[in-house]
Chain A
Amino acid sequence: MLVEYMIVSFLLFAIGAVGVMIRRNFLIMLMSLELMLNGAGMILIVMSYYLGNVSGQVMFIFVAAVAASETAVGLAIAIMMYKRKGSIDINDFSVLKK
């Protein structure tokens, strides 16, 4: 079963990674980032079960807390984008490329 669990979490991670790269909507990119972090965190829980070692579960708590605070800042950035340009499409923001 270890392999199956690992495949599920890797799939979650890879789908999230693809989502970050192909979407243009900043909020959906944010959600894809959450999927990535969750997939990576799931590895900790899977390993914790198969090793019989509870540390992995504790590490997941840190990952979850960090994910929540990261999202809060990301959403603040989304609001900034919306206020500046009335859009959250990342392709509308390209003044820095000279």
Chain B
Amino acid sequence: MVAIMFFILSLITIGGALGTVIARNAYSSALWMITSFLGVSGLFVMLNAPFIAMLQIIVYAGAIAVLILFVMMLMDRRVLENKDRFNPQYLWGAIFGAGLLADLLALALKFKIDISQAGKNLTINGSNTKMVGDVLFKHYLFPFEMVAIVLLVALVGAIVLSKDDEKEAR
């Protein structure tokens, strides 16, 4: 049963990813991307990480995808559907990707760690969210504060870069 679920979810994930990369226009690309993210979120549930699975849906499939679709809405349709899908140097890209994948697969097949603790220690009183929060605020407080700065910088930057110049508007 677990194996079947895993198979279906990973099929959705990988299929979605392939769809994103080869889809002709950007809208279908975005929809494929959301599919892929939902598949990943299902895999996270199987890995005893329900909180992260919800986060995945909210942040990736929700916030990021909606943001991208909003920007597409601002643009002309013809801009998004250009005739040439791929770069002239796409072969090099594909070769590089295949090399990287071979490298990573060799790593995955040889990878061995102690998995006697698999699936344990991920909850406090049966709650994964509590455990994540506990570790986040006890051990990872400093990077958490840094993340606040990333978000602020990105916010200010996005506004500054995309706002209309007053001189041109006049």
Q: Which residues of A contact B (CB under 8 A)?
A: 1-8, 10-25, 27-28, 30-32, 34-35, 38, 42, 45-55, 57-62, 64-73, 75-80, 82, 86-89, 91
Given contacts A24-B87, A72-B154, contact A13 B40 (CB under 8 A): no
Bound: A87/B83 CA distance, A: 13
Q: Which residue of A lies closest to B90 (CB)?
A: A22
Contact B68 A75 (CB under 8 A): yes
For residue B146, give the distance in angstroms from its CB to the closest CB of chain A. Answer: 8
Given contacts A6-B111, A23-B21, A49-B122, 17 further A-B contacts (CB under 8 A): A7-B105, A10-B108, A17-B96, A18-B97, A19-B20, A22-B86, A22-B93, A23-B85, A25-B85, A28-B23, A28-B29, A35-B21, A38-B56, A48-B47, A61-B136, A73-B154, A75-B67
B166 within 8 A of A: no
Instruction: Determine whether the beta carbon of A50 is less than 8 Å from that of B118.
Output: yes
Residue of A19, A34, A46, A53 touching B47 (CB-CB under 8 A)? A46
Structural contact, A69 and B79, CB atoms closer than 8 A: no
User: Least Cβ distance of B53 to chain A in Å?
Assistant: 9
Interface residues of B (CB under 8 A from A): 2, 6, 10, 13-14, 17-18, 20-21, 23, 26, 29-30, 33, 36-37, 40, 43-44, 47-49, 51-52, 55-56, 59-60, 63-64, 67-68, 71-72, 74-76, 79-80, 82, 84-90, 92-94, 96-97, 100-101, 104-105, 107-109, 111, 113-115, 117-122, 128, 131-132, 135-136, 139-140, 143-144, 147, 150-151, 153-155, 157-159, 161-162
Task: Please give the distance in Å from A73's CB to the nearest CB on chain B.
Answer: 5
CB-CB under 8 A from B2, the residues of chain A are 1
* Contact residues in A for B30 (Cβ distance below 8 Å): 31
CA distance A31 to B20 in the complex (A): 7
Interface contact A75-B158, CB-CB below 8 Å: yes
In the complex the two chains form, is A54's CB within 8 Å of B20's CB?
Answer: no
Residues of B within 8 A of A16 (CB): 17, 21
Residues in B neighbouring A15, C-beta threshold 8 A: 14, 17-18, 20-21, 97
Expressed in whole angstroms, the Cα–Cα distance for A42 and B42 within the complex equals: 12
With contacts A3-B109, A15-B21 known, is A49 near B118, CB below 8 A?
Answer: yes
